Amino acid sequence: MTKHSISIVSFLFVCGVLGAQQTVWQPSAGQTQVAIWPGTPPDAYGVPGTEYVETTKDERVAGKPYVWVSNVTRPTITVYPPKGQNTRAAVVVFPGGGFEGLAIDLEGTEVCDWLTSEGVTCVLLKYRVPSLPYDWHCKCRPNDLAISTLALEDAQRTIGLARFHAAEWHIDPRKIGVLGFSAGGYLVAEISAKFGRRLYTPFDAADKESCRPDFAVGVYPGHLRVGEHAYKLNPNLPVTRQTPPTFLVQAEDDSVDGVNQSLAYYIALKNAGVPVEMHLYAQGGHAFGLRRTKLPITGWPQLVETWLGTIGMVRIG
């Protein structure tokens, strides 16, 4: 989501804005989450404690709390079939959370409620967080370029699984996209640039499928630029002409990631000849998800629906 930097995560969660710890996250009744890896995930490492889920106590978005999942070491997917007419398009959703946790409802299940209502299959990925070995004493990583190795492995695996199960899930293997928020928006850019080679030794036939998204949506993405230059792209994102068509939305008053994240990525996509549509709003801040407010930026889902029609992923009207 939401918490792009270590300092912000530390302030919000160490200082106790979350409610009491609950159980490991489970989807709503009638939905089943499935492990994406047969056995131990590649490059697995330990984290302090087991997975747990908490609901915010004081922090709210559009007047409502949200659910935060931490210490994910066993990544899963939950497949939500479309309601009504099936467009045969599918979207893999990456919740945000600064690679420290996942805002699993605000930027996950609520997104699937919207997508499935529009006839799109939603694949919610509960990817591994933290995504890099982490020094819990200094609260730091080896670098600050957000090389989300484990999360990217999970994303590559998930898109391969979606294509492998396309007939079973009633989707078109040529219409599988990704949508992510904040750190999840960075993962959108990462999988859009790094689909040519698996980061892990293939497990099965699903890993022989392409993991290139057919389209990509980044909502208040983070980690896309580096250095003092306002529009210098993160070197971990080798954008090429093969990067999929992309939609970006961000608020100019985003105080967590900053609007220059989207601007830097937009410029790189344009220079590479990649079709890209970007919407910038004066107000909206960070981590608004799909929850409606009086601000115009919360109308972004309708813009995505129109864009998906213009690029041929769904039928307009």
Question: What backbone torsions phi and psi does residue 304 show, to the nearest 5 degrees?
Answer: -65, -40
**Which 8-state DSSP code applies to residue 232?**
P
What per-residue confidence (pLDDT) applies to 257?
Answer: 82
What per-residue confidence (pLDDT) applies to 145?
Answer: 59
Q: Report the candidate in 158, 287, 278 with the shortest Cα–Cα distance to residue 222.
A: 287
What per-residue confidence (pLDDT) applies to 222?
Answer: 92
What per-residue confidence (pLDDT) applies to 141?
Answer: 52
User: What are the Cα distances from residue 226, in Å, to 26, 72, 143?
Assistant: 36, 27, 12
Reported as type and span, the H/E element at residue 184 is helix 183-193
User: What are the Cα distances from residue 294, in Å, to 55, 63, 250, 284, 299?
Assistant: 25, 12, 16, 10, 10
Spatial contact of 215 and 246, defined as CB atoms under 8 Å apart:
yes
216 beta partners: 178, 246
* CATH class of the domain whose range is 6-310: alpha beta
> Which residues, at least 6 apart from 40, have a Cβ–Cβ distance to it below 8 Å?
none
CB atoms within 10 A of CB 20: 7
Spatial contact of 42 and 23, defined as CB atoms under 8 Å apart:
no
Q: Report the candidate in 110, 24, 21, 26 with the shortest Cα–Cα distance to residue 57.
A: 21
HEC sequence for 11-45: HHHHCCCECCCCCCCCCCCCCCEEECCCCCCCCCC
Q: Strands 67-70 and 101-103: what pairing?
A: antiparallel
What per-residue confidence (pLDDT) applies to 8?
Answer: 30
User: Could you tell me the two tokens for 151?
Assistant: 């999360």
List the chain domain ranges: 6-310
> Would you write out the chain's pLDDT as a tens digit for each of its 317 residues?
443 332 233 323 333 334 444 578 999 988 999 999 999 999 988 777 889 899 988 889 888 999 999 999 999 999 999 998 999 999 999 999 999 999 999 999 999 999 999 999 999 999 999 876 655 444 555 455 556 789 999 999 999 999 999 999 999 999 999 999 999 999 999 999 999 999 999 999 999 999 999 999 999 999 999 877 778 999 999 999 999 999 999 999 999 888 999 999 999 999 999 999 999 999 999 999 999 999 999 999 999 999 999 999 998 65
Edge-to-edge strand ranges of the sheet holding 276-281: 33-35, 76-80, 121-126, 90-94, 176-181, 216-219, 246-251, 276-281
* 3-class SS of residue 1: coil
* pTM for the predicted model, two decimal places: 0.89
